[in-house]
Structure 1
Amino acid sequence: MGLFSSFKASVWASTFLPLIVNALPSPHGNTRNFELTLTWEKGAPDGYERDMFKINGQFPGPLLEIDQGDDVVIFVKNESPYNTTIHYHGIEMLDTPWSDGVPGLTQNHIQPGCAFTYKWTATQHGSFFYHSHSESQINDGLYGPITIHPKASNVTPYSLITQDPVSLHAIEQAERHRVPMILSDWRHITSDVEWEISLKSRLEHICFDSILVNGKGKVNCLTQEQMKPLTTPAQAQFLSLVNGSHLTDKACLPPKVLAAIAPPGSPPANLGVIPDDLFNECTPTDAPADVITVTKKKCDAEKWVMFDLVAAFGLYTVQVSIDELDLTVIAVDANFIEPIKANSILMTNGQRYTVVTKLDKPKKYTLRISSVIDPQIMFGTSIIDFQVEGQEQDTTASVPFINERGTNLTADVVYFDGLKGVIPYPPNPIPQDVDATYKVKMQVDQTLNMWAFNATKRPQYLDDVSPLLFSPVPGLQDNHTITVPSEMSWVDYVMQVSTGQPPHPVHIHGRHFYVLGQGSGSFNWSTTAEAAAAMPEAFNLVNPPLRDTYPTPAAATAPSWLVLRRPSDNPGVWLIHCHIQSHLQGGMSMAIQDGTDDMPAVPEEYLGYQCSAQ
């Protein structure tokens, strides 16, 4: 297997939702079998009924709870009317690229009435989630959480939080009962209908109806007076482009303002095809919020709880906070870090943060999620109901750290941005030399609903074609695909964003990456080493955070860039893309062929897959 095998063996080796589905361990305890049945039916997550996906009759999908080292077998039955696939976000799929779940890249679609079996090994641990990788079906509810418990032999950062044996034991127990929180945005129109309107209007529809926690939420409507103090300077500047403009009833930038910021020379937007209720007509609902009940015994000396925050958003970047509680972040995208305390955490699409908190006072605490992006003012809440057996609850309302826009309400609120001060635990030095550097341009593709890597049109591999994995093209370097030969071990990806764009959460399949640096302006260097020599303050080449999803800096008035360093030691065909669903559907993606000349043979059951209606 060449350098891939030796590299993996040495350098990198150092490195309650309802119903846990049919998790049936084998007699040896190392195989987990799951069955997921996808259906298309009515649902009303925020009090407004619409058609949506459900998984095993529920939304979000059931928790897949696994132990590190388990072999995982997931049998997916598609009883919906749509072609689909399932991707396991953040799972590196070591030696099993055929189970990554990207149509046209690693598999054919699972057609209606058909079934497909995914098989992979849980080599990692932490918080992940699964979701559709077809079109924007994640916006229709096709997602659910994954928890992988670490091996007992794993080194954890808990002792950096406390040295007290009782507290350490309580934190370890909290890990075995960690609580997933799936945070998502929700729209009252199905993704296929929305995309059809987007194609006709030539605009990206960046207006949603609610924020959900574990599939529950409500529509919050604001008056124009309530919107004024929450309107950002950037929003005000956008509104000034069209005289007399104001935020819509849904607190969104109106279509006419979006049309005014289209790239020069692009075809004019067709505003007449946009239904009025897509951006306007906010009707509040009173649907029940999600309630997460945490119950402890009075005799428990230390009352700790572990939450997995999962950002399953289609669009939003948010601030997340739990009133009155200090949250200690212990993992980012399932990778342990030196613990950092915070009151509010910045999260963008696809990211996961694992936090622990010590609960002392029985009380109902409000979880707050507030959008911080310019297209819309949007917020949602949930309840953490902390109970102690035999002890009365404090009935006073919990005191918030942040408002509906994520702004701190007192000067001592501590923010966590996912980069500053984030140090992997245990330490894992990275190589200072790389074998290749690839520059990737991220830009609008003529109209405000089409997006591009390196000036591409919509990549063919997102359609139902013969998967590239089955017939890789070694050496292919074009606008859609790059090839990393097997003799390469480390690659830098310089993500370059042209002026006038929002942050893009970059997600790479197949291997996590280190976030080395970011900045504003043009990236005028050939390599990271040259750039770091010129501006060392912009880079961390000693102990950078390990992620699988991280956003580029905003490029509102000037270009921006982000440098990622990734090992190229897992042969396969992988996707790199923006995790904003409208950007991915609009074309902002590319295939990485990692060592396809050193790739394990695709099993016959995948090569010869035909529709199975088992």
Structure 2
Amino acid sequence: MFKINGQFPGPLLEMNEGDDVVILVKNESPYNTTIHYHGIEMVGTPWSDGVPGVTQINIQPGCAFTQRWTATQHGSFWYHSHAESQLNDGLYGPMVIHPAPRTENPYSAITDDPVSLAAIADAERNRIPMLLSDWRHITSDREWEISQESRIEHICFDSILVNGKGNVNCVPPEQQSALMTPGQKALLSRVPGAQLTDKSCLPPEVLAAIGNSPGAAPVHLEKIPHDIFYGCSPTEGHIDVVTVTKRANETDKWIMLDLIGAFGLHTVQVSLDELPMWVIAADGNYIKPSQADSVSITNGQRYTVLVKPTEAKQYTLRVSSTSDPQIMYGTSILDFQIEGQTPGVGETEPYINERGANLTSDVVYFAAAAAKPLTLPSLPTTVDATYKFTMQIDGNNYQWAFNETHRPDTENASPPLLFAPQPGLMDNHTVTVPSSASWVDYVMQVPQGQPAHPVHVHGRHFYVVGQGAGAFKWDSVAEAMAEEPHAFNLVDPPLRDTYPTAPSAQDATWLVLRRPSDNPGVWLFHCHIMSHLQGGMVIVVQDGTDELPVVPQEYLDYSCRAQ
């Protein structure tokens, strides 16, 4: 696995809005690598976005690379490798940018009590990252090698981690049956007699039957080592414990948690036993606060929440996968102590089960589509360009594509595309958008039978302005709105940097993202499931390339090669 500064996950990067940031990345591993700062828009500094072949060349073993950028945003972010699937090997860590003084915040919508507001401000200064990830006992390069040899996608993991710690939980067959989703049952039915493995995964023969493109090469299940899907060995005691103490002189004690989805595959439901959460930010952007007992988080997303415990207890944080390929869950502990009192012990009452389902009828789920930005946007009614992409399998089901072709090998491109933009260079994988101060719609189309694809866009956040089922039969959003106005929201749509398409088990689905083209650069646009990214579901957006900032000489001259 990878460690950063000797630790896993990597150290918290903490800064203030407006800070000039300088980060030295020294590669002491035997692999090429880069570091991307997920959700950071890199305004005016696209060469620090950390995408090999696109914004920089790979940092080869024994080499170092300096990234310089300005923290123009605030909120919860994270950093991770953008080389191959090294995220699955632990090359990631949390990041927080504290808001500048007098930044508008949503706290007055939660309480108007000055003491509570002061306590919330203190919680922001001491916010706690909760890095949520999935983990498996095989390196990413070996997994990719097996996928290519067997010609199926391997989507079986071993555990869910919180801040790098977690247990292998083995679900017995009788519990598997009770926890299976309708989607999972439908997938198992494709192969007569198929059952979940003892790792609670769809078996490889079911994955092979899920679907390939016409003319795809035959699969080779015999190439898959047995322990990829079978051989669950439970562990105990390896969970993260976060201790927060309420001092004797504190009237109120609020706790701010940054829930960070650093998953390679899974989408999860997260809850904190007995503690309703005030959701106050999504992907680093303040929203109008919404109280919920559980929130869904997929690859790359972040939610910032506030909780206010009043009893000294060890509250269990539950992270339960809702993805069909596997039943998997993890936990950690928020140990809330009150000065002068005996620490609380014993189990707390959960809101959700191991599959994220509510255990009582009054459990409130956070609605991501209803996350209203704190500051209302002023969106145009029409845009300057519309691009339509189909997200689909391209060949065998470990190969993925936007439109007809999957990603070419660009990781070793030199010079990187940013230094010499070439419209149309990579077939359907390079999109050239108009100059700055224009708006662009991206229509993501997903054929029937696909999972949800968490779409992540570098360079600028986007507004989620529409979503629906069936074919997107229109040439523009304006045409679609004229026929189906209920499917769109141009008044207060969510502002995100990562957002999933809807699963398309029953029907095709579509998702419309609207984004300003006002940050010239060359940016990546991809599915954030690691096997889909590595399998080719990625495009490059050449944004306002006639107005690119001048690349500093230190980046133009960078040429470190492995010794």
| TM-score over 0.5 (shorter chain) | yes
Q: 2:467 and 2:99 mapped to 1: Cα distance?
A: 32
- Pick from 369, 378, 388: which aligns with 1:429? 378
Q: Does 1:234 align with 2:183?
A: yes
Does structure 2 retain, via aligned residues, the 8 Å contact 1:259–1:268?
no
Deviation at 1:517, TM superposition (A): 1.1
Q: Which residue of 2 aligns with 1:446?
A: 395
Quote the offset at 1:454 in angstroms. Answer: 1.3
After superposition, the Cα gap between the structure-2 partners of 1:540 and 1:287, relative to the gap in structure 1 and judged at 3 Å, is same
Residue in 1 aligned with 2:367? 417
* Residues 264, 529 of structure 2: 8 Å contact kept: yes
Q: Which residue of structure 2 aligns with residue 561 of structure 1? A: 510
Deviates more, 1:503-512 or 1:532-541: 532-541
- Provide the residue aligned with 1:56 in structure 2: 5
1:183 aligned residue: 132
Q: What is aligned with 2:280?
A: 330
Runs of 4+ in 1 over 6 A off after TM superposition: none
Instruction: Please point out which of 351, 374, 383 is paired with 2:301.
Output: 351
Match of 2:468, SS state, is strand
Matched, 1:540 2:483: no
Q: Any unmatched runs of 5+ in structure 1?
A: 1-51
Report the CA distance between 1:286 and its aligned residue: 1.8
Residue matched to 1:382 = 332
> Which residue of structure 1 lines up, in the alignment, with residue 158 of structure 2?
209
Q: Which one is further off, 110-119 or 450-459?
A: 450-459
Identity %: 65
Q: How far apart are the structure 2 equivalents of 1:199 and 1:278?
A: 14
Distance 1:264 1:474, change over 3 A: closer
Q: CA deviation at 1:287?
A: 4.1
* Root-mean-square deviation over aligned CA pairs: 1.4
In the alignment, is residue 224 of structure 1 matched against residue 173 of structure 2?
A: yes
Q: Give 1:600's match in structure 2, choosing from 549, 552, 555.
A: 549
- SS of residue in 1 equivalent to 2:410: helix
Is the contact between residue 80 and residue 93 of structure 2 (CA under 8 Å) also seen in structure 1? yes
**Separation (CA, whole Å) in 2 of partners of 1:487 and 1:510:** 13
Aligned-partner residue type, residue 313 of structure 1:
F
Q: Deviations over 1:418-462 (max 9, x none)?
A: 11x211012223222211111111110111100001111322323
Match of residue 523, structure 2, among 574, 583, 592 = 574
Q: Deviation per CA, 1:384-405, whole angstroms, max 9, x where unpaired?
A: 0001111223323100000000
Q: Give the letter aligned to residue 139 of structure 2.
A: T
Structure 1 residue 551 corresponds to structure 2 residue 512: no
Instruction: Give TM-score, length-normalised by structure 2.
Output: 0.98
Measure, in 2, the Cα distance between the counterparts of 1:243 and 1:264. 22
Mapping 1:194-593, distance limit 5 Å: 194-263=143-212, 265=214, 266-419=216-369, 421-474=370-423, 478-486=427-435, 489-593=438-542
Q: Sort the Cα spacing of 1:377 and 1:352 in 2 relative to 1 into closer, same or farther, 3 A.
A: same
State the distance in 1 between where 2:529 and 2:442 align. 19
Distance between the aligned counterparts of 1:352 and 1:235, measured in 2? 26
Unaligned runs of 5+ in 2: none
Per-residue displacement from partner, 1:453-483 (whole Å, max 9, x unpaired)?
1111322323444210010125768311010
Greater mean alpha carbon deviation, residues 74-83 or residues 255-264: 255-264
Query: C-alpha offsets along residues 321-363 of structure 1, whole Å, 9 cap, x if unaligned?
Result: 0000010000000000000000000010000000001111110
Give the whole-Å Cα distance in 2 for the aligned partners of 1:414 and 1:484: 41
- How many residues in Structure 1 have an aligned counterpart in Structure 2? 562
* 1:51-107 alpha-carbon deviations (Å, 9 max, x no partner): x00001000000000000000000011000000000000000000000000000000
Q: State how far apart, in whole Å, the 2-side matches of 1:463 and 1:451 are.
A: 20
Indicate if the aligned counterparts of 1:514 and 1:566 stay in contact, CA closer than 8 A: yes
In the alignment, the residues of structure 1 paired with residue 344 and residue 93 of structure 2 have an alpha-carbon distance, to the nearest angstrom, of 33
Distance 1:475 1:70 in 2: 37
- Aligned mates of 2:261, 2:557 — CA distance in 1: 35
CA distance in 2, matches of 1:516, 1:112: 43
Structure 1 contact 239–253 (Cα < 8 Å) conserved:
yes
Give the Å deviation of 1:538: 1.0
More deviation, 467-476/175-184: 467-476
Q: Partners in 2 of 1:141 and 1:245 — Cα distance?
A: 32
User: 1:430, 1:543 within 8 Å by CA — same for their partners in 2?
Assistant: no
Counterpart contact for 2:391–2:444, Cα < 8 Å: yes
Matches of 1:118 and 1:182 in 2, distance apart?
A: 23
Contact 1:459–1:590 (Cα < 8 Å) also in 2: no
Task: Give 1:168's aligned amino acid.
Answer: L
TM-score by length of 1: 0.90
Look up the SS of the partner of 1:306 in the other structure: strand
Q: Hey, what's the Cα distance between the residues in 2 that align with 1:264 and 1:456?
A: 12
Q: Which amino acid aligns with 1:100?
A: D
